[in-house]
Amino acid sequence: MTKIAAAGGGSGADYNAAWERILQRLIAEFGQNVFQSWFARLKFDGVEKGMAVLSVPTPFLRSWIRDNYQTRINAMWREERKEIESIDLRLRRPGGKANDGESRVLVRDETAKAPQPLAAAAVSAMRDSGKAGDSIPLDPRLTFDNFVAAPTNTLARAAAGEIAGTGNGSAPRYNPLFLHGGVGRGKTHLLHAIAWEVQKRQPQRKVRLLSTDLFMLKFVSAARENDTVSFKNMLRTCDILLIDDLQFLQGKSTHKEFGYTINALIESGKQIVVVADRPPARLEGFDERIKSRLAGGLTLEIGAPDAVLRRAILEKRLESASRDNAALHLDEDVLAFIARNLSSNGRDIEGALNRLCHHAMHSNEKITVEKAEMLMRDLMVARESRPVKIEWIQKIVSQVYKVSRQDLVSERRTQAVVRPRQIAMYLCKTITPRSLPDIGKRFGNRDHTTVLHAIRKIESLIAKDELLRREIESLRRRIEDEADRDE
């Protein structure tokens, strides 16, 4: 592809350097685990018509990146080179060139060549798990020690722990173990934790952790090279096979191969753990027999993390991040702000924290609540499935405290109006994704610092006043009920 510099744009070398920095930022922001799964095979092919052309080898990688990371990558490009509007994500042909259309499905095994920045611990973890590339490198952060127990994950955690501790040779109790739940619930974390634990306690047992993507890549390249035998051996000689995100498995022949593999492993008493975003019965494209095989062991759901768990995960993460970087310290109010404002999704927590750490490392500025809000605005916007409107908050607060809506947004500063107004602003910030300036605007064009002051005021009051805290909690429930009724 010709590298066309847009008007006011830079040279090819400038763009390549920008891309290098973006890759570094992706690692810093999302962590090695995520980077390895989704970005290691993302290639920059050049700039065309103000768009950065990126390519990936599989259609599902493309749709995954599009759905989950495109907005962020767009923003990074714009920050690097303001002439770049957005990215254009394409499929690439085996020769390495991008393919414009959806057309043919082309898969290329590039795992061996792709630049894969691995933590030292991950490299040594791979040593025992066969040839490099036969297993996903383990993320040193994803251990049982770092996994926070909560009612939503107790059973899954216990089953995973039991598998990791099962003595060599004893027949597995649950086979397969099938864990399911939405994004960010700790499924991948548990798979890595099992692998770490087995390596530590029983290094003679062979553990293999495969993403569905890696399974497909391996299978397709083995088929192309007429070497399905070693592929089969690679899978069937392990003692524990861990498979991540099974819902992504695509293609008739890969489904078939997957079916053979799990049958063979189960029959020879080897342990399988599979995770997916849905239960076996709802998997698409799988044969009924495979689905019932998958459901024939133990199937457990991991629920969405609640605010308490989000906060605990955040603290855990911060604790280990500050071990690497002593300068990193987030104030209590910043922590509380993040835990409150992020979605129920563990991945957002991780992304937010990585972003904050990155910022802390590269600037001497202290992270304040305002700064945190700015850095994470896009993560917070995506959070509401059923948006709560500022009007409802104002309506309910004015009913409960018997002040009129006009007073609430007016200049009046009597105590009878000021406190309900602060409470309303606090609720707007905690249950809607609106930014501080937005909220200020809706309260009689106030400045964002006034909103921030109100939020801090209420926070400091509820820290001391349990009654007020409960009162606000019940207001929040009423407002959310209102949103439900409005559906």
The answer to whether the Cα torsion of 29, 35, 38, 41 is positive or negative is positive
| Integer CA distances (angstroms), 57 to 41, 45, 231, in order | 7, 13, 20
For position 313 contacting ligand ADP by CB under 6 A, the verdict is: yes
**C-beta neighbour count of 285 within 10 angstroms:** 12
| Interaction residues for Mg ion, span 181-240 (CB under 5 A) | 187-188
Least CB distance to ligand ADP at residue 258 (A): 19
For position 175 contacting Mg ion by CB under 5 A, the verdict is: no
User: Which of 52-60, 183-191, 367-375, 447-455 is the region at the interface with ligand ADP (rule: CB under 6 A)?
Assistant: 183-191
Closer to ligand ADP by CB, 346 or 433: give it.
346
For position 189 contacting ligand ADP by CB under 6 A, the verdict is: yes
Least CB distance to ligand ADP at residue 150 (A): 6
Label residue 109 left, alpha or beta by phi (over 0 means left) and psi (-120 to 50 means alpha): beta
Give alpha helix (H) positions in 166-273: 187-201, 212-224, 228-236, 252-267
Least CB distance to Mg ion at residue 147 (A): 13
Task: With beta carbons less than 8 A apart as the criterion, state whether 367 and 38 touch.
Answer: no
In sequence order, the 6+-apart residues with CB closer than 8 A to the CB of 100 are: 90
Closer to ligand ADP by CB, 50 or 182: give it.
182
Q: What does the DSSP assignment read for 17-31?
A: HHHHHHHHHHHHHHH
Choose the one of Mg ion, ligand ADP, none that binds residue 350, judging by a C-beta under 5 to 8 angstroms depending on kind.
Answer: ligand ADP
Q: Bridge partners of 47? A: 52
What character string, x for contact with ligand ADP (CB under 6 A) and - otherwise, covers 340-379? ------xx-xx-----------------------------
According to DSSP, residue 372 is labeled H
For position 297 contacting ligand ADP by CB under 6 A, the verdict is: no
The beta-strand segments (E) located in 100-244 are 177-180, 207-211, 240-244
According to DSSP, residue 7 is labeled T
For position 186 contacting ligand ADP by CB under 6 A, the verdict is: yes
Choose the one of ligand ADP, Mg ion, none that binds residue 183, judging by a C-beta under 5 to 8 angstroms depending on kind.
Answer: ligand ADP
Least CB distance to ligand ADP at residue 195 (A): 13
Integer Cα distance of 199 and 138 in angstroms:
11
| Interaction residues for ligand ADP, span 119-148 (CB under 6 A) | 142, 146-148
Q: Give CA angle at 15 (14, 20), nearest 5°.
A: 100
Q: Give CA angle at 273 (155, 67), nearest 5°.
A: 90
For position 36 contacting Mg ion by CB under 5 A, the verdict is: no
| Integer CA distances (angstroms), 47 to 4, 143, 207, 279, in order | 6, 41, 42, 42
For position 398 contacting Mg ion by CB under 5 A, the verdict is: no
Closer to ligand ADP by CB, 80 or 350: give it.
350
For position 153 contacting ligand ADP by CB under 6 A, the verdict is: yes
Least CB distance to ligand ADP at residue 117 (A): 17
Closer to ligand ADP by CB, 38 or 147: give it.
147
Least CB distance to ligand ADP at residue 79 (A): 24
| Interaction residues for ligand ADP, span 10-29 (CB under 6 A) | none
**What tokens appear for 348 in the block?**
């957002």
Closer to ligand ADP by CB, 188 or 199: give it.
188
Choose the one of ligand ADP, Mg ion, none that binds residue 347, judging by a C-beta under 5 to 8 angstroms depending on kind.
Answer: ligand ADP
The residue within the footprint of ligand ADP, chosen from 316, 340, 383, 457 (CB under 6 A), is 316
Peptide bond into 176 cis (omega under 30): yes
Least CB distance to ligand ADP at residue 405 (A): 40
**What tokens appear for 25 in the block?**
């930022």
Q: Applying CB under 6 A, which residues contact ligand ADP?
A: 142, 146-148, 153, 183-189, 313, 316, 346-347, 349-350
Q: Which residues bind Mg ion (CB under 5 A)?
A: 187-188
